[in-house]
Amino acid sequence: MPNPMVSPDGRPWVIPAPDVPAIKRPIPNPALRHYPKLVGEHPRRWKFPSYLVNESTPWLRSLREMYEMPIVFPASLSPEAGLMLHGLVRNMRPRVAVEVGTFLSVSTHWIASALKESGDGALLHCFDDFGPIHKGPWRDAEMLSGREEWVKNRLDRAELLDRCRFYPGNSPLRLLEQRDALRAAGGVDFAFIDGDHGVYGAVQDFWAVEPILNTGAYVVFHDTFPDQCGGHNGPREILDRINEIGTGLYEKLELYLSPLNYGMGVLRRIG
């Protein structure tokens, strides 16, 4: 064992080591000061930042148009969360990416645009039931039929359709069906899971993709803080119990989101 009091080249440390208790305990939640919560009135739509308005880039133009549609709120990623996802994908450059929960394709735009910018032929495999969208809390609009065609038209307008493949139906079952093909394509490097938010459904989605994740793959869950996002507790349960319910070893990171802190969790498979 190296002596921690001496640096690797034998010199004394200039900066003293922090005082680390022998047993590390998690900080109790009330002590988590940096945890953004909604201040003031609940917003009624996502606000697309003016610095992203760029009418000559088709995917940014398409996103700007979509964020003006009342139906995308609140179930679609906020622009700030989308930007974070785009940055993650752009930097890690997955070859094979999976999205569970396409909805109206806002998250699809953020991910597929990053794949397109990387320019190396990577594909996003999109799983969704493409069922009817009903009015609900904070959503005073509906789309009762034709969602898959609508999504494809949007992605075509954004010049991202060629980066996407679609698998309509029940996501865990469709993923299971596609396992061999995705494995043959090189295995999954990136998965964004934002479909069924119940514990059973979210775990099924995760288990359907987990055996074909590559070492180093990222899995991103949306809506990880149930008290902030309508009580959906599936993604939370997976993050809290990942090494009980996952077969590999995972690193884990919690990400805070604003203006509404629905939360994102990132797993990195290291086994």
Ligand X SMILES: C[S@@+](CC[C@H](N)C(=O)[O-])C[C@H]1O[C@@H](n2cnc3c(N)ncnc32)[C@H](O)[C@@H]1O
Residues found near ligand X in the complex (CB under 6 A): 75-77, 101, 103-104, 106-107, 128-129, 131, 170-171, 194-196, 201
Residue 99 to residue 125: CA distance in whole angstroms: 6
CB of 93 to ligand X, least distance (A): 21
| Token representation of residue 151 | 């999504």
CB of 73 to ligand X, least distance (A): 11
Residue among 128 and 210 whose Cβ is closer to ligand X:
128
CB of 151 to ligand X, least distance (A): 9
CB distance 99 to 125 below 8 Å: yes
CA angle 205–105–160, rounded 5-degree value: 110
CB of 57 to ligand X, least distance (A): 19
What type of residue sits at position 172? P
CB of 41 to ligand X, least distance (A): 22
CB of 78 to ligand X, least distance (A): 9
Residue among 173 and 245 whose Cβ is closer to ligand X:
173
Residue 182 to residue 124: CA distance in whole angstroms: 11
Residue among 138 and 248 whose Cβ is closer to ligand X:
138
Question: How many Cβ atoms from other residues are within 10 Å of residue 114's Cβ?
Answer: 25
Q: Is the dihedral of CA 249, 115, 186, 212 positive or negative?
A: positive
Residue among 98 and 212 whose Cβ is closer to ligand X:
98
CB of 36 to ligand X, least distance (A): 19
Residue among 45 and 248 whose Cβ is closer to ligand X:
45
Distances, alpha carbon 66 to alpha carbons 1, 44, 73, 102, 250, in Å: 58, 14, 10, 14, 35
Pairing mode, if any, of strands 213-222 and 264-269?
Answer: antiparallel
Residue among 74 and 246 whose Cβ is closer to ligand X:
74
* 3-state DSSP assignment of residue 261: coil
Three state DSSP letters for 56-89: CCHHHHHHHHHHCCHHHCCCCCCHHHHHHHHHHH
Residue among 107 and 178 whose Cβ is closer to ligand X:
107
